[in-house]
Structure 1
């Protein structure tokens, strides 16, 4: 059974912790600004102890797992938000207190990149809806027309309608502005449909960052095949985005997800826009087609769901409808 956290409202408490990379230097200045921004938006914000940015993670895996578990189980906390992603959140997934989490009411966990490593098992193992959306450092950026802030999706059941923004952007450099709230436009782009002339697909959303979730496939923490079987009547819409690995590596990872049964109940696959490098003999798009083209499923390329801003938030477990025609490029999510 899927369980959706209570709607997030101004006045609710958002907790900040670093399950993966911590903060230091200009990054700490950015995070402090973002905490103040959330408070000015009306939320109570508490900052945990696991925030140290001197190492590859914010502290020992046991401490990070304990703090994240405590925050997710605290009924006074309605949302947990990391400063950003990182590299090795996989070291804590088996250290979370899964029994305690199973007994707790679901709490919003929001983030992307390495946070996919934690979002995915909370949804597939516990049935908690989780949010693949902006980390704390990106939250103050204003959304362009067509996209919604993650706070709006967390505020109620929807339907939440988002459309292709047509924009390609980038972040403000921290050494130039730690208080930026507007993306820097670098170009225009649009969703592209492959494998069909038009698309109208429905299914439960599930997915994340290719480089991190692939390491969960074949383990109890990334059993999307079993999740798909449980929701076979609804079907799945699987979404994936490449952060930085070159195309041949992404190709191997996508084949691994295919062999692990991730797409057995899929009705469509969404592929995030990426700046990751091509291989000398394979582009990123060719990598996707090599691994997933044989499935005969519609593929939607260049969706704003990854490491190229702006960001289109998606709720793992939400019932989604994706429509792509000559005139419409839209996703609707219902939190039910």
Structure 2
């Protein structure tokens, strides 16, 4: 079987905004409106669903969220769906979605964090590519040199190559104040930092590997391991004869929780076909001398493949735009770190 890519995003297309997990509280909706205006300024129509402005742990009952997400993903005029951000409980949608209907005329599903709880099953179950990149609330930020916005990658045709390079700088602090500065558009990348190999003694030991890319947020997608929504061995057999590149985002769990989650994913076969594993930079806490890097080494260090940490694929800005299903080449060394994605069937 082959990977299927949504039609490239074009000016005049509609972008849907729905909340499969958490909506936006009233005090932060100025940012939501501004982010929608930024997307409009790029030449797209924006359709904001009711769930996007519904406050609470979840943006309404699961049936309502599932229906609005389905309506947008199956509307032929909507060519990308970009939730405001993630949340906690997108997992309650999975049994309510008609996966065949969502795959019939694929639309780009864009975002990260809890959005990946829906993105990843869509790719694993149907072979439809999804886009792990900025959420809507991140869209107004200037994209650093070397990286691309989700709108750039979603516009690429099948067969195109998309190249991104680590800027080797990141933001050391937390989130901006969207309530008082809803139009903030610049990330302060105030700290130097590059990708780092954890599977060997030299952090810049060269890497040059290729494989089908997939991934998501550890705190959410680890619960899919061993279920029909996280059948990575099947995906590898059907879509990844070249092997896989696994991209993982660690958001907030302590190091021991992360180690347990990675072991669960390993026991479920998530890394059996891996040619490399990418793990995000994170501000999540260490635990009594057991670091986040230790957690990754403990679970994945013995795989016998390159394991790269501090990659821009998590909750620490800036963000790579990564296509679940793309054929990815990962190169790393002392001078630069590059990921090239080919939108290959």
Residues 18 and 51, structure 1, Cα contact 8 Å, conserved in 2? yes
Deviation at 1:99, TM superposition (A): 3.3
**Which of residues 166, 189, 196 is equivalent to 2:168?**
166
Q: Alpha carbons of 1:7 and 1:287: their partners in 2 closer, same or farther (altered >3 Å)?
A: same
Deviation at 1:186, TM superposition (A): 3.0
**Which of residues 322, 325, 336 is equivalent to 1:314?**
322
Residue 109 of structure 1 aligns to a residue in which SS? strand
Which residues of structure 1 form unaligned runs of 5+? Answer: none
Partner of 2:216: 208
Deviation at 1:228, TM superposition (A): 1.3
- CA deviation vs aligned residue, 1:111-168 (integer Å, no higher than 9, x gap): 0000010000000001110000000000111111111111111111331111111111
**Which of residues 296, 301, 310 is equivalent to 1:302?**
310
**Which of residues 261, 272, 285 is equivalent to 2:280?**
272
Partner of 1:78: 79
Deviation at 1:328, TM superposition (A): 2.9
Which residues of structure 2 form unaligned runs of 5+? Answer: none
Deviation at 1:37, TM superposition (A): 1.1
Partner of 1:230: 238
Partner of 1:63: 64
Deviation at 1:70, TM superposition (A): 1.2
1:1-336 equivalences under 5 Å are 1-102=2-103, 104-157=104-157, 158-169=160-171, 170=173, 171-195=175-199, 197-336=205-344
Residues 329 and 340, structure 2, Cα contact 8 Å, conserved in 1? yes
Residues 228 and 262, structure 1, Cα contact 8 Å, conserved in 2? no
Residues 199 and 302, structure 2, Cα contact 8 Å, conserved in 1? no
User: Distance between the aligned counterparts of 2:54 and 2:70, measured in 1?
Assistant: 20
Residues 247 and 279, structure 1, Cα contact 8 Å, conserved in 2? yes
Question: Structure 1 residues 51-60 or 289-298, which shifts more?
Answer: 51-60
Equivalent residues, number: 335
Residues 26 and 178, structure 1, Cα contact 8 Å, conserved in 2? no
The CA RMSD over aligned residues, in Å, is 1.2
**TM value normalised by structure 2:** 0.94
- CA deviation vs aligned residue, 1:34-92 (integer Å, no higher than 9, x gap): 11111111110111122243321110001110111111111111000100000000000
Residue 295 of structure 1 aligns to a residue in which SS? coil
Q: Alpha carbons of 1:13 and 1:260: their partners in 2 closer, same or farther (altered >3 Å)?
A: same
**TM value normalised by structure 1:** 0.97
Residue 289 of structure 1 aligns to a residue in which SS? helix
